[in-house]
Structure 1
Amino acid sequence: MAYLLSVNTGVLVPNEHSDASMTGIDKQPVDGAVAITVPGPRGTRPTGVAGDWIADTRHHGGPDQAVYAYAREDLDAWGAELGRELPGGAFGENLTTSGLDVTGARIGERWVIGDETVLEVTAPRIPCRTFAAWLGEKGWIKTFTQRALPGAYLRVITPGRVRAGDEVRIVHSPLHDITVGLAFRALTLEPELLPRLEVAIDEVSADTRRKLLNRLQRAL
């Protein structure tokens, strides 16, 4: 059974490693139920997770990046490689899952969490300088990119409340084969894969859609 190990939120703290002077990457597990809602448009601060904040509203947030999920299994693999414990929220994720292949999820896949909340997979997470500084690992962006275990951004289809221990059920899986991992590779080290994303163009995030359309237009 797939389920949530923790729900994680972060407040704004000073950030010296990007153009944004603050960051919300320091996510900590919270107790009890947390409301999941559709956030405002890109450029506004709150995410889709009550009590959670972002600072770099130019590159993060909005309906297509309402929630970020990462698998406990992948955190454990990273922890073994880095020789350190990575608690829930260590990668800035809102949802730390167990028993769920997050990177293998298809773009457009829908999850029901608990009794009512429905989320839809939209895009992989692309690493940034703030993430690298937060982990404190030399060459982290390159290492993370090469491994291609990015975790998934999700949009909110049906708002609700979630908590640690809630079951996660896949209730819809698209017919295409475009996974979060494949989309990440296409958007980073293997741009030749971008045309494959066209079959999921109605389901990908707006950012991914723009990159795909630009690439297709240049190919004409």
Structure 2
Amino acid sequence: MEPASVLAVCCVHQLLGDQGNVGVTAIDKRASEGPVKVHKLGVHGDIQANRVHHGGEDQAIYAYSQSDADFWAGTLGRELPPGIFGENLRVSGIEPTNAVIGERWQVGADVVLEVTSPRVPCATFQRRMKEPQWVKRFTEEGRVGAYLRVIRTGTIQAGDYIHQTFVPRHGVTIGRWFSAPDAEAVEALRDAEADGEIRLQEEYHTRFEALMRRLGE
């Protein structure tokens, strides 16, 4: 099994005009050269144009796996370089979609990241990819990648190894929560947070209530 590692650290290359409410998007991210500093709000040199739906400490960094990128490259019939999905980290040997919510990664010598939530595709992402019905296709496939919060700052670069230092016992993965959330997952996440094992974003509690109403429980 190949060791988990960072293939590329990506930052915004340029702001692009966009049809959305903000008028610009920072989704054009490309691989950086050499070491990149990581602070509480993400990688140095990166920004989010729409701060309502992106960024903040709970979504400081977005990670996407090379294996998922390879799947889409084969499906779409074109190369998909690091950053094309708007990701900050293109990783190998570890699957962000399969990560357990709240698990922690040490990246390189000193950076520690915590898995928080799945990426929810939007119209800006579809315009970026220039693929028909991209949001629907990306959602149905469920290869969404994961957002992470920064627990310990430092410096990272391509080639750094990634070590899982903590995996919560509740077992609910990013992919399960995105594609097939149910009452059992809600209960497991609520209990894990109540026990102090994980710290959930406020959006989870809103989703819990909506999901349980829909399930009639």
Q: TM-score, normalised by structure 1?
A: 0.89
8 A Cα contact 1:17 1:129, kept in partner: no
Partner Cα distance (1:213, 1:157) in 2 = 28
Cα shift at 1:195: 5.2
- Structure 2: any 5+ residue segments left out of the alignment? 194-198
Q: Secondary structure at the match of 2:6?
A: strand
Give deviations 1:161-204, integer Å, cap 9, x for gaps.
Answer: 10000000001001012001011114xxxx5x255133224333
One of 125, 134, 142 as aligned partner of 1:140: 134
One of 84, 93, 100 as aligned partner of 2:87: 93
Seen in structure 2, the aligned counterparts of structure 1 residues 35 and 209 have a Cα distance that, compared at 3 Å, is farther
Cα shift at 1:212: 1.4
8 A Cα contact 1:3 1:97, kept in partner: yes
Give deviations 1:47-83, integer Å, cap 9, x for gaps.
Answer: x111001111111111110000000110011000000
Give deviations 1:77-127, integer Å, cap 9, x for gaps.
Answer: 100000000001110000000111211100001000001100000000000
Percent identical pairs in the alignment equals 41
Which residue in the other structure is 1:185 paired with? 179
- For structure 1, which segment, 15-24 or 63-72, has the greater mean C-alpha deviation from structure 2 after superposition? 15-24
Matches within 5 A, 1:147-162: 147-162=141-156
Which residue in the other structure is 2:188 paired with? 199
Amino acid at match of 1:171: T
Which residue in the other structure is 2:54 paired with? 60
8 A Cα contact 1:108 1:200, kept in partner: no
Partner Cα distance (1:138, 1:194) in 2 = 33
Matches within 5 A, 1:34-183: 34-39=36-41, 48-183=42-177
Question: RMSD over aligned Cα, in angstroms?
Answer: 1.6
Partner Cα distance (1:198, 1:21) in 2 = 40
Seen in structure 2, the aligned counterparts of structure 1 residues 27 and 194 have a Cα distance that, compared at 3 Å, is farther
